[in-house]
Amino acid sequence: MIYLTIVSLIWAFSFGLIGNALAGVDSFLIATIRLGCASLLFIPFLKVDVISVRDRVRLLLYGAVQFGLMYSLYMRAFHYIPSHQVAIFSILTPVYVVLINDIRQSKFSWRYLLVAILSVVGAGVIKAKVVPSGDIWTGFMLMQGAGLAFAFGQVAYREWKHNHHQLNDRNVFSLLTIGGTLCAACFSALFTDRSTLEINSDQWKSILYLGFVASGIGFFLWNKGATQSNPGTLAAFNNAVVPLAVICSLFLFGEIRNIEDGALLKLATGAIFIFGAVMIAQFSSKVKN
């Protein structure tokens, strides 16, 4: 649990940093650079000869989904919603962790239908005045895609590592980040407008911090912690960062000045719906276990 706790504290700061210090910088390019930095950090520890070619490909694919696809969707969400809402909309990731774990074990619970309904209601309450805007729902759906990708990668790597418990995580981790880098680079090649790229020195510092610390050290410790936790604990810790991230974004990065009157009440009310959805999923998980 110590690994998951450390990463939660690191990631809480990242939401506001991306939404404010890196505003206007192409999201796909940032994702590619971040994962590239994480790969550089762990390539010196890589030992490809300790696993089969099939497992190498499998880890590359896991990393492409968990890191590459997740980051591409996650970073894009900042173009539609502020960072404190990105944090709020990531709150369903624990549901996906439990759900994917159950599906892989051929289980299903009707409670997840209720979870989905509550999450949509919560999303509407947070931002909607009369009719939800296109931006809020675009950001919401991007974050759900990112959550699903991140959840799948955690569960898949956890299962793989349990079947290869004799291996040290650091000796194979760069395969995950390389897979993520290649995936993000594909999105960047297709969608990045290079004619408008402009990154100042302060933004480069933020990107390098996010790449080596939040992505490199953060993802490594997170996946290592995931292998040492049961699915319920892992799912619960996916939410630990949310209240910390919202507080950082609103107060440390000053987003509190830009929200409308009554928005905090709507934010709190919507968060209650979404937290309620997560609690139902968590309770269901504990009952099954």
Tens digits of residue pLDDT in 165-184:
889 999 999 999 999 999 99
Percent helix, strand, coil in the chain, to 5, is: 80, 0, 20
Average of per-residue pLDDT across 215-227: 91
Average of per-residue pLDDT across 26-49: 93
pLDDT of 278: 60
pLDDT of 69: 96
On the question of pLDDT at 282 being above 60, the answer is no
Whole-angstrom distance, CA of residue 201 vs CA of residue 183:
26
Question: Mean pLDDT: which of 78-87, 101-110, 215-224, 266-275 is highest?
Answer: 215-224
Task: Specify whether the CB–CB gap between 35 and 180 falls below 8 A.
Answer: yes
Mean pLDDT, rounded, of the chain: 80
On the question of pLDDT at 274 being above 80, the answer is no
- pTM for the whole structure: 0.79
pLDDT of 130: 43
pLDDT in tens, 57-77: 999 999 999 999 998 998 888
pLDDT of 99: 81
On the question of pLDDT at 229 being above 60, the answer is yes
Q: Is the dihedral of CA 97, 103, 105, 111 positive or negative?
A: positive
Question: Mean pLDDT: which of 79-83, 230-234, 253-257 is highest?
Answer: 79-83
pLDDT of 95: 78
Q: Could you tell me the two tokens for 48?
A: 């490809």
pLDDT of 65: 97
pLDDT of 35: 94
Task: Specify whether the CB–CB gap between 31 and 68 falls below 8 A.
Answer: yes
Q: Find tokens 């649990």 and name the residue.
A: 1
Question: Which of these, 79, 9, 20, lies nearest to 206 by C-alpha position?
Answer: 20
pLDDT of 1: 66
pLDDT of 131: 44
pLDDT of 191: 87
Average of per-residue pLDDT across 153-159: 92
Average of per-residue pLDDT across 120-147: 71
On the question of pLDDT at 236 being above 70, the answer is no
On the question of pLDDT at 241 being above 70, the answer is no
Cα 62 to chain centroid, rounded: 14
Question: Which of these, 55, 53, 46, 57, lies nearest to 164 by C-alpha position?
Answer: 55
Residue extents of the structural domains in the chain = 2-25+82-167+198-288
On the question of pLDDT at 273 being above 70, the answer is yes
Q: If pLDDT is split at 50, 70 and 90, which confidence band does 104 have? A: confident
Kindly state the percentage of the chain with pLDDT values over 70. 71
On the question of pLDDT at 266 being above 50, the answer is yes
Whole-angstrom distance, CA of residue 77 vs CA of residue 56:
31
Q: Find tokens 């209240």 and name the residue.
A: 243
